Structure 1
Amino acid sequence: MLDQSKALPLRPGVGYKPQHFAAILADAGAVEWLEVHAENYMGAGGRPLAQLRHLAERFAISLHGVGLSIGGEAALDEAHLARLKALCDWLEPACFSEHLAWSSHDGHYLNDLLPLPYTEATLARVCDHIDRVQEVLRRQMLLENPSSYLGFAETSLSEVAFLRAVVQRTGCGLLLDVNNVYVSAVNQGFEAAAYLADFPLAAVGEIHLGGHGQDQDDQSAVLLIDSHAAAIADPVWQLFAQVVAQAGPRPVLIEWDADVPDWAVLQAEAARAGAVMAAS
Structure 2
Amino acid sequence: MTPAAGLGLKPQHYAEALAATDQGLWFEVHPENYMSAGGPRLSALAEIRQNHPLSLHGVGLSLAADADPDPEHLSALRKLVDRFEPFVVSEHLAWSSHRGIHQPDLLPFPRTHVALARIAGSISRMQDALGRRVLIENPSLYLPLTGHDLDETDFLATLVSRTGCGLLVDVNNVFVSASNLGYGAEAYLDALPAEAIGEIHLAGHGPDEGGSGLLIDTHGAPVAEAVWTLFERLIDRIGPRPTLIERDDDVPAFAVLMAERARAQVLLEAGASTHV
Aligned residues: 271
Q: What's the counterpart of residue 262 of structure 2?
A: 271
Distance 1:132 1:43 in 2: 23
Distance 2:2 2:31 in 1: 20
Q: What's the counterpart of residue 171 of structure 1?
A: 164
Distance 1:253 1:149 in 2: 23
| Structure 1 residue identity aligned to 2:249 | A
Q: What's the counterpart of residue 43 of structure 1?
A: 36
The answer to whether the Cα contact below 8 Å between 2:112 and 2:150 also exists between their aligned partners in 1 is yes
Distance 2:69 2:186 in 1: 34
- The alpha carbon displacement at 1:151 in A equals 2.2
Q: Match of 1:279, SS?
A: helix
Q: What's the counterpart of residue 66 of structure 1?
A: 59
Aligned partner of 2:199 among 206, 221, 240:
206
Q: What's the counterpart of residue 240 of structure 1?
A: 231
TM-score by length of 2: 0.95
Query: Deviations 1:146-169 (Å, cap 9, x if unpaired)?
Result: 000122210110000000000000
Query: Deviations 1:54-84 (Å, cap 9, x if unpaired)?
Result: 1111111000100000000122211111111
Q: How does 1:1-280 map to 2 (within 5 A)?
A: 10-29=3-22, 32-215=25-208, 222-280=213-271
The answer to whether the Cα contact below 8 Å between 1:9 and 1:32 also exists between their aligned partners in 2 is no
Q: What's the counterpart of residue 5 of structure 1?
A: none
Alignment CA distance shift 1:78-1:136 (3 Å): same
Distance 2:212 2:190 in 1: 26
Distance 2:2 2:41 in 1: 24
Q: What's the counterpart of residue 274 of structure 2?
A: none
The answer to whether the Cα contact below 8 Å between 2:140 and 2:177 also exists between their aligned partners in 1 is yes
| Structure 1 residue identity aligned to 2:14 | F
Aligned residues with identical type, % of pairs:
51
| Structure 2 residue identity aligned to 1:96 | V
| Structure 2 residue identity aligned to 1:269 | E
Q: Match of 2:27, SS?
A: strand
Runs (4+) off by over 6 Å: none
- RMSD over aligned CA atoms reads 1.5
- The alpha carbon displacement at 1:215 in A equals 2.1
Note the residue ranges of structure 2 that are not aligned, 5 or more in a row: 272-276
- The alpha carbon displacement at 1:28 in A equals 4.6
